[in-house]
Structure 1
Amino acid sequence: MIFKLFQKQSRKEDIADDLYRQIVAAARQTEFYLSYGVEDTVTGRFEMIILVAYTFFHRLKQEDEDARELGQLVFNRFFQDMDDSLREQGVGDLSIPKKIKKMAQSFYGHVEAYDAAREKGTDALAIALARNIYALEDGSRPEAAGLAAYVEACEEKLKLQSVEDFSKGRLHFPEIEPFQAV
């Protein structure tokens, strides 16, 4: 662990760090917490980072090996951030691997649920989002439909960005619009 302090990050790791910071910035848009009712807690913020990161990773899924390698570096950075956050919260060294494993299982569970829901359409995605972000089994949270629309907006915006842009650390997410109950 201490030797990491003396290692220099590679250029790709620096880019992955930049991309991860942009994912976090998108996940911290205040509208998610003020207008969409996502809890402004460690758990709520973790859920939003997963959601925004999911859209980025989903975009890279069909790309070449270099793009997937970049995605893996961003993923590694994400979990390094989770490790760092746990340490800042005072979690002991022996407990961190268990908590990181639980976070990784949660991440993969979310990805699986979101992928399956996206195949069924926007309403199914809203139900999956309600289940994961709001802890509601019936999907009765109207804000979840707005989050599903945001995922679709991310998908559209990310399609317009090239892998070359990503490999230069450029990543753009849409702004989340205030929630409007229909």
Structure 2
Amino acid sequence: MRVPRIFSKRIADDPVQTLYSAIVCQARQPAFYRVCGVADTPDGRFDLIALHAALVLRRLRMEGEAARSLAQALFDHMFADMDENLREMGVGDLGVGKRVKAMARAFYGRLAAYDAAITASDRTRAAEALRRNLYRKNTPSPDQVEAMADYLFAEAARLDTLAFDRMRVGTVAFGPPPQPGTG
């Protein structure tokens, strides 16, 4: 998390920063990596952030024009953070732009895949999207994929009931990570 400058608004007063912080905090939950089989790598962490950001952006899109600027600001903030993280990881200035563009394209693909599965209420489609995107080269167990698909639908439903006024001020909460094999 960035440290606020002395003359800028406090982070707690910035709804975009607060929404993004909630997304990142959820994506950092150890159970996603230890129990759900997501790779604890930069790619795995990106994919969990992308999954949670896709859920939030899907919810904001439901508000239409009223949420367009908030959604765009969240997207912009997310990729500014990705840019900064790549630089901190030592990616050279010339490579950062290309990597961020590739990440943005990948994010749009994930957003479309998750949204299509949720809209169609299609768990098979969701599982395929998760295997292709969240797990990539990993070989998760069927229980892990099923648990993450259930989580995707549960979190979409949770966010669907969240009042836009709460999101507008940066309030969003996610449920606990799933526990594969316990249901």
TM-score, normalised to structure 2, is: 0.86
Encode CA deviations 1:62-111: one digit per residue, 9 max, x unaligned.
21323121111111111011001011011111111101110001001111
Q: What fraction of aligned residue pairs are identical, expressed as a percent?
A: 37
The match for 2:80 is 80
Tell me: CA distance 1:37–1:140, structure 2 relative to 1, closer, same or farther (3 Å): closer
Q: Which protein has greater RCO, CA pairs closer than 8 Å, 6+ apart? A: 2
CA distance in 2: counterparts of 1:106 and 1:53, whole angstroms: 13
Counterpart residue number, 2:136: 135
Extract unaligned runs of 5+ from structure 1: none
Structure 1 residue 134, shift from structure 2 partner: 1.6
Cα separation, partners in 2 of 1:137 and 1:45, compared to 1, 3 Å: closer
C-alpha distance in structure 2 between counterparts of 1:139 and 1:127, whole Å: 12
Equivalent in the alignment of 1:97: 97
How far apart, CA to CA, are the structure 1 residues paired with 2:58 and 2:140? 23
CA distance in 2, matches of 1:138, 1:124: 17
Q: Secondary structure in 2 aligned to 1:123?
A: helix
Question: Which position in structure 1 is the counterpart of 2:107?
Answer: 107
Describe the superposition over 1:92-144 as per-residue Cα deviations: whole angstroms up to 9, x where unpaired: 11111101110001001111222333326112101110111222699974311
Q: 1:46 matched to which residue of 2?
A: 46
- Within 2, Cα distance between the matches of 1:31 and 1:137? 16
Q: Say which SS state the counterpart of residue 152 (structure 1) adopts.
A: helix
- Please tell me whether the aligned partners of residues 33 and 40 of structure 1 are also in contact (alpha carbons under 8 angstroms): yes
Q: 1:81 to 1:35 in 2, by over 3 A?
A: same
**How far apart are the structure 1 equivalents of 2:69 and 2:88?**
28
* Matches of 1:10 and 1:64, distance apart in 2: 28
Q: Does 1:34 align with 2:24?
A: no
Shift of 1:40: 0.6
For structure 2, the residue ranges without an aligned partner over 5 or more in a row are none
CA contact (8 A) 2:19 2:170 kept: yes
Q: What TM-score, normalized to structure 1? A: 0.87
Deviation at 1:38, TM superposition (A): 0.4
RMSD value, Cα: 2.7
Contact residue 148 and residue 178 of structure 2 kept, 8 A: no
Native 8 Å contact 1:143 1:179 kept in 2? yes
> Alpha carbons of 1:120 and 1:163: their partners in 2 closer, same or farther (altered >3 Å)?
closer
Other-structure match for 1:66: 66
Q: Would you say how many aligned residue pairs link Structure 1 and Structure 2?
A: 178
